[in-house]
Amino acid sequence: MYDLIVMTFDSPEAAEGARGAVKKLQNEGLLNLEDAAVLSSDASGKVDVDNELSRDVKIGAGLGALLGAVFTFFFPFVGLVLGAAGGALVGASLDRGVDQQFVDDVKESLKPNSSALFLVVAQGNIDALRAALAPFGGKILQTTLDEGLANQLRNA
């Protein structure tokens, strides 16, 4: 089961800072993050999207490269490249991420000089997540967390 957490922030840099704090939790083993994306709006309202490569794409590319290596014996180099590309496509097709229409809706709703953070979390320590996100002052826009956990994040 994956939980989606979408937070908005009043500055274009805050979501990137919050993502960095969340990635630190993942590196410490306190959170299993499936995917993360930052949307940031500049003063003119232009929105940039910085999406991390999802785990499925990475795994698919790795498996594809392994299969490609087997074919490389028969067709050098081409087998490895085609295997990795094919594996990445298979991984991407698993699509455990966020609905693109929802991302577009959030993108259009961002005010100038603001940002949003999308997190797809497989599991983690909610207290550590709350503590990591609190300094950035975000507001929860959408979540699939149960109401009690969502309120803990809101009150951080």
Q: What is the pLDDT of residue 89?
A: 44
pLDDT tens-digit map of 110-119? 899 999 998 8
Cα gap 31→141, rounded to integer Å: 21
**Thinking of the domain 3-54+100-154, which architecture would CATH place it in?**
2-Layer Sandwich (3.30)
Q: What is the pLDDT of residue 94?
A: 39
pLDDT tens-digit map of 12-28? 999 999 999 999 999 99
Strand pairing report for 139-143 and 31-41: unpaired
Q: What is the pLDDT of residue 95?
A: 45
Q: What is the pLDDT of residue 44?
A: 93
- Sequence letter at residue 11: S
> Where are the chain's structural domains?
3-54+100-154, 57-93
- Take residue 83 and report the two structure tokens written for it: 């295997």
The helix/strand/coil state of 70 is helix
Share of the chain above pLDDT 70, in %: 59
What pTM value is reported for the model?
Answer: 0.67
pLDDT surpassing 70 at residue 81: no
64-87 average pLDDT score: 55
